[in-house]
């Protein structure tokens, strides 16, 4: 298989270097890595040029969905596309395991892996801490494939033939962080084959807080994006309501904790602004661009 890794990045120059180094150290290296930054200085291109894997620049775009679509547009002959967050550290056999999975399971079109630790729920994980978690990991003797509705956006493997057949694109109406873009994209591929979680694909999501959307904007997206996807038909209403309710409860509880590394108060304010716009009939994901 020809395997390409795509990375959209913003404001995490050093963090990205750690991820690129991990990819260059894979047992089965990717044939190419495509990097689309929000701005040119987000990537240490000199460091990338020294790696054992070719790293290709994709012209800067601002917004996760725009960046990932730019990567899709830059891909020619590829069998397997892996999208990694710039702060995801894969186990050194991740790509080899993905290749084996897609070779052996011809009806699988999307796979996502086992996240051994996720710094998104706290202050984030340093590179050494993430590597230590990977070093301690003991994968199961027999891998399991578990049906899921969508891949987790930090690590997603796609059969390119399915993307081409569906004409799938990341929805550019979900600006900046593009929250739930993974749900929407995978829904476009649901008719092409199976979407699975594989315990053979393993890694650590560092959850870096650098380069992230503000708490206010993200809180608005927590409500606006699911409601938008319900109207679009790529998210079930019950799941959207459960998602929105869970986020509001978490933000209320988190806003009461002192020194919380996550801006729960900002998110809660964003939630409230979104519900206000919902009542006024003007709720839309793009309105975060008018918030600070």
Using one digit for the tens of pLDDT, what is the confidence trace for 5-43?
999 999 999 999 999 999 999 999 999 999 999 999 999
Q: Which percentage of the chain shows pLDDT scores above 90?
A: 91
Its pTM stands at 0.94
Structure tokens at 244: 């929105």
């Amino acid at each position: 298989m020809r395997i390409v890794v795509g990375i959209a990045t913003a404001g995490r120059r050093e963090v990205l270097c750690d991820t690129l180094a991990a990819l260059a150290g894979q047992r089965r290296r990717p044939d190419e890595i495509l990097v689309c930054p929000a701005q040119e200085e987000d990537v240490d291109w000199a460091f990338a040029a020294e790696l054992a894997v070719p790293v290709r620049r994709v012209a800067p775009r601002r917004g996760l969905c725009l960046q990932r679509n730019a990567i899709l547009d830059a891909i020619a002959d590829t069998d397997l596309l892996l999208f990694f967050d710039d702060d995801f550290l894969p186990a050194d056999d991740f790509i080899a395991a993905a290749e084996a999975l897609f070779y052996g399971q011809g009806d699988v079109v999307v796979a996502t892996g086992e996240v051994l630790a996720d710094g998104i729920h706290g202050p984030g994980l340093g590179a050494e801490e993430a590597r230590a978690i990977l070093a301690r990991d003991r994968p199961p003797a027999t891998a399991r494939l578990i049906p899921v509705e969508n891949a987790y956006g930090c690590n997603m493997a796609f059969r390119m033939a399915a993307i081409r057949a569906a004409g799938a694109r990341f929805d550019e109406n979900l600006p900046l962080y593009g929250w739930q873009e993974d749900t929407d994209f995978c829904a476009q591929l649901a008719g092409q084959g199976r979407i699975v979680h594989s315990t053979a694909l393993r890694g650590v999501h560092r959850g870096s807080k650098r380069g992230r959307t503000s708490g206010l904007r993200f809180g608005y997206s927590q409500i606006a994006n699911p409601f938008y996807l319900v109207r679009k038909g790529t998210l079930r209403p019950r799941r959207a309501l459960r998602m929105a309710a869970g986020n509001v409860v978490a933000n209320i509880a988190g806003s009461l904790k002192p020194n919380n590394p996550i801006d729960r108060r900002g998110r809660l304010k964003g939630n409230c602004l979104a519900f206000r716009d919902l009542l006024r009939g003007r709720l839309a994901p793009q309105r975060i661009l008018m918030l600070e």
